[in-house]
Amino acid sequence: MKLATGVVNDHISYLDNGLLGAAGFGSTYLVRGTELAIVETGTSLCAPDVLAGLAQLGVRPTDIRHIVLTHVHMDHAGGAGTLARQMPDANVYLHSLTIPHLIDPSKLLASAARALGALFPAHGTLEPLASDRLYPAEELRLDLGHDVVLQAIYTPGHSPDHLSYLDLASGAFFTGDAVGVDLPVYRYLGPVTPPPAIDVDLQQRTFEQLLELPIKQLLFSHFGPAQADPHSVIEQLRDRYTQFTQLVRAGVEVGHVDEAAILRTMLKTDDLPDDAAWVLAGWINMSIRGMTRYWSKQ
């Protein structure tokens, strides 16, 4: 499988990291100043594709000085330990709340196995990181030189440790899962709400907060740079999130969440390649479980 690389602007590029063995699901970004950073790693199984993509972009792993993570979920941070071995001079940045899970991944792996179900084996593992490689990112203002600065923005809702990053030079915004996923190859735009720690109220506040920011382009971890107006895309994702929330809440209130019906409503197409259909269906069903757990607790 040949995976794509692309250019966002004069200092940001992206590569397909082959997340879950399919093209078009996971992005890793390369940010160039005087120093080089990557944003997001994908899973540990993505590491060979990340290294291959960097090579296509003319970058050696030893050139990377910073590994910037939006949150601790395995499809975003699972490859950090694996890549850090190949990038010996790189610092790793993550919310301090979940830094301990990259030092000792045992509890995170157990939680991920419960949340991901059948998707879990495709997420690889987590190689532990030494504490002196890890830095809290809540207040991060990462100056890479040449006027390239990444500013952390706290964006909870998807998870309590979720951070996004605004490139102050261009207004490009690394979303992580802060607003959901935009998968143009599969014509899917929608929420991702995995158990166990989503928060609907915080998510709605994050939508409103981001609509006030001077964002010029959305850079999705799932997947790639959005071509449409960023605030319009955020509004669409807010509306899809509200629709999804209402569908699941209505099911919880009557004692029956019809996962198959919700899946059909959210997916809106059966015309998907086999390697994508199982991933999308798995993500949506996982999101239904996360949202069902949230409303049941309420």
> What is the rounded average pLDDT of the residues 150-154?
98
Where do the domains of the chain lie?
5-297
Give the per-residue pLDDT at 296.
Answer: 97
Confidence grade of residue 107 (pLDDT, cut at 50, 70, 90) = very high
- Asked if pLDDT for residue 1 goes beyond 90, the answer is no
Per CATH, the number for 5-297 is 3.60.15.10
Burial group, residue 67, by CB count within 10 angstroms (0-12, 13-18, 19+): buried
> How confident is the model over 210-251, as pLDDT tens digits?
999 999 999 999 999 999 999 999 999 999 999 999 999 999
> How confident is the model over 34-62, as pLDDT tens digits?
999 999 999 999 999 999 999 999 999 99
> What is the rounded average pLDDT of the residues 171-193?
95
Give the per-residue pLDDT at 273.
Answer: 65
Whose tokens are 């709340």? That residue is 97
DSSP 8-class letter at 137: -
Sheet holding 148-154, edge to edge: 141-145, 148-154, 163-167, 172-176, 217-220, 224-225
Give the per-residue pLDDT at 185.
Answer: 85
> How confident is the model over 242-280, as pLDDT tens digits?
999 999 999 999 999 999 999 989 987 666 666 677 888
Contact criterion met (CB below 8 Å) for 166 and 218: no
Angle at 288 between CA 178 and CA 266, to 5 degrees: 80
| Cis peptide bond N-terminal to 223, omega within 30 | yes
Give the per-residue pLDDT at 199.
Answer: 98
pTM above 0.85, yes or no: yes
- Asked if pLDDT for residue 287 goes beyond 90, the answer is yes
Contact criterion met (CB below 8 Å) for 177 and 71: yes
Which residues pair with residue 134 across a beta bridge?
92
> How confident is the model over 55-102, as pLDDT tens digits?
999 999 999 999 999 999 999 999 999 999 999 999 999 999 999 999
> What is the rounded average pLDDT of the residues 158-163?
98
